[in-house]
Amino acid sequence: MRRLSTLALILGLLAVHSRLYAQETKDPATENWEAVKEKLQLSQEQMVRVREIKERNAVDLATLKQQLDANVADLKRMLEQEPADRQRIEQLVQEIGKLQTQRVRVQTHTIYEIRSILNPDQKRILKSFRRGTKEGGSLGPELVVNKAS
């Protein structure tokens, strides 16, 4: 019974990771970011600073993605082995959770860094994009995943 519940938990985690990975690899951010930049009317200095922020944090995100992908691949292999190494599987699940938390932390930090260089009107416009209001399209965490500026 415990084995089935552990397997169900792991399969759920893999499904979530797969959905998140698919969202990242679709990369709708380029189109959205171009629309945001146009609406925000960023100064040249702001554009340079945003690009620096995104590039600096993109390195961290890429590293986290590599680590996540490796751990998920290991987890998938381990789930197919008989007998399953339950202790190592649990360890990988914990590591994957930590890496996902770190990724969200970097994405959030990037958003706050970008917001810090915007004036109040630009912040309002950015907020409307993030909420998907009529001023713009939906703009989720992809804002910080995309390296292109």
- What is the reported pLDDT for 27? 40
Measure the CA–CA gap between 57 and 128, rounded to whole angstroms.
Answer: 23
- What is the reported pLDDT for 133? 44
What is the separation of C-alpha 131 from the centre of its chain, rounded to a whole number of angstroms? 17
Res. 9: pLDDT tops 90: no
Say which residue, 136 or 35, is predicted with more confidence: 35
- What is the reported pLDDT for 125? 84
| pLDDT confidence band for 18 (50 / 70 / 90) | low
Rounded mean pLDDT, 124-142: 57
Three-class SS state of 29: helix
DSSP 82: S
Burial pattern 25-44, b for ≥16 Cβ within 10 A else e, equals eeeebeebbeebeeebebee
| pLDDT confidence band for 4 (50 / 70 / 90) | low
Mean pLDDT of the chain: 76
Say which residue, 63 or 149, is predicted with more confidence: 63
- What is the reported pLDDT for 11? 64
- What is the reported pLDDT for 145? 35
Res. 111: pLDDT tops 70: yes
Quick one: what percent of the chain has pLDDT higher than 90? 36
From the list 95, 57, 58, 61, the residue with the least C-alpha distance to 75 is 95
